[in-house]
Structure 1
Amino acid sequence: MDTPAFPLAGLRVLLADAGQRRSPVIRLELIRLRCQLVDVLDLVAEPHALGSALQRMAPELLLIDCEQPTPEMLAQLAVAQLQRPRPVLMVAEQMTPEQMRAALRAGASALQLAGLPPQRLGALLQLALARFEHDQALQMDLRQTQTQLAERKLVERARGILMREQGLDEEAAFQRLRQLAMTGGQTMASVAARLIDADQLLRHR
């Protein structure tokens, strides 16, 4: 038997039950999968408790079982995911295409429609974990690309300042920035930012 890519044994799961009354069945299946159910949150009795419960219990995965996601639920989920992202499996009896898009934008990792067959819970948890890891990797790549682009723009601006103030050509100005960075043990971007700040101060005198 192959070892699952994402082991479920010991996985800390918070179940948010919005009146579907499936929590006993889900609880039994989580026990069979050897997950750790940290609590069952009743979203009918406590419709605004999702954010505080996630912060207090810090589960590794959130499982939401609902008739259909409400705007209030998705708003709480979006805020919680910004504060501390985690895999989210959302099970709903029905969802419009717009509700699906809204749930994904709010941070749901995997969606299951028309109920939850207990025998599929393990596979759905695996899917939520895999999708979450994939999305996090994409976001990290995007942040790195944005940082590199911003740093490149700083270097270009600083090079322009050196060309203007010291009469250097493009290559000489670039080499000058590199030399300053190596001498000071800094990145070219940090040297460029300091040079731009100094130029702006001089120009506003």
Structure 2
Amino acid sequence: MNMPPPSSLAGLRVLLADAGQRRSPVIRLELIRLRCQLVDVIDLVTQPDALPTALQRLSPQLLLIDCEQPAPELLAQLGDALHSQPRPVLLFAEQMAPEQMRAALAAGISTLQLAGLPPQRLGALLQLALARFEHDQSLQRDLRQTQTQLAERKLVERARGILMREQALDEEAAFQRLRQIAMDGGQTMAAVAMRLIDADQLLRAR
């Protein structure tokens, strides 16, 4: 029994990269049933270097790659392209060695499907790729936020040390002084701390 296409996939812009399996007609029919928008089909056999340009030109919401097994050159191209413009990637492969799987995941591929292309499962696999991509992006955002907060905390600690040294303040008084300057100037404490550190370095360089 065929299940109705998931409504969340309707209008999804998909770019298909065919690396020799020649299953694009089957994939195209299933994408139509799912109400996705197939923006183009790239033949990676005759145009092995076409993928980066196509990604930049077409800006698909999801990339689908169908291959026997991903070549190192393809994964390298993909890694470079996804580094500058991350997007979900669903890879179909007939076979992959463990090191190829690790390389594929390192390149930024969201979901791997081995041993064939089951058309009836394409919708679920597309949704899985989208969900995993969003999850990974959320983790990356959290990591960047944590790193930023840590860097800002170090700046504030360093600036507080400067105030303690130059104005003979204790830790709490130096912290409150930084906080007051930030509030009066409508700036973050990290921005004020950076200015104070820069000024201190200039004075010490003379």
TM-score with structure 2 length normalisation?
0.96
Superposed displacement of residue 3, structure 1: 9.3
C-alpha change, 1:2 and 1:178, in structure 2 (3 Å) is farther
Give me the whole-angstrom Cα distance separating, in 2, the residues matched to 1:55 and 1:3: 28
Secondary structure of the 1:144 match is helix
CA contact (8 A) 2:90 2:111 kept: yes
Give me the whole-angstrom Cα distance separating, in 1, the residues matched to 2:97 and 2:83: 24
* Aligned twin of 1:92: 93
- The question of 1:175 aligning with 2:176 is answered yes
* Aligned twin of 1:116: 117
Q: Identity rate of aligned residues, in percent?
A: 83
* Aligned twin of 2:66: 65
Query: Matches of residues 115-194 of structure 1 in structure 2 within 5 Å?
Result: 115-194=116-195
Superposed displacement of residue 97, structure 1: 1.2
C-alpha change, 1:3 and 1:196, in structure 2 (3 Å) is farther
Give me the whole-angstrom Cα distance separating, in 2, the residues matched to 1:161 and 1:97: 53
* Aligned twin of 1:42: 43
Superposed displacement of residue 24, structure 1: 0.8
Give the residue type in structure 2 aligned to 1:27: R
Give the residue type in structure 1 aligned to 2:38: L
Give the residue type in structure 2 aligned to 1:64: I
Give the residue type in structure 2 aligned to 1:147: T
Give the residue type in structure 2 aligned to 1:195: L
Secondary structure of the 1:90 match is strand
Query: Matches of residues 95-106 of structure 1 in structure 2 within 5 Å?
Result: 95-106=96-107
Give me the whole-angstrom Cα distance separating, in 2, the residues matched to 1:67 and 1:3: 27
Secondary structure of the 1:20 match is coil
TM-score with structure 1 length normalisation?
0.97
Runs of 4+, deviation exceeding 6 Å: none
Q: Deviations over 1:115-160 (max 9, x none)?
A: 1111110110010000001011111111100000000000000000
* Aligned twin of 2:203: 202
Give the residue type in structure 1 aligned to 2:158: R
Query: Matches of residues 11-30 of structure 1 in structure 2 within 5 Å?
Result: 11-30=12-31
TM-align CA RMSD: 1.4
- Name the count of aligned residue pairs: 204
Superposed displacement of residue 84, structure 1: 1.1
Superposed displacement of residue 2, structure 1: 9.9
For structure 1, which runs of at least 5 residues remain unmatched after alignment? none
Q: Deviations over 1:46-96 (max 9, x none)?
A: 101110000001111000001111111011111111121111000001111
Secondary structure of the 2:9 match is coil
* Aligned twin of 2:34: 33
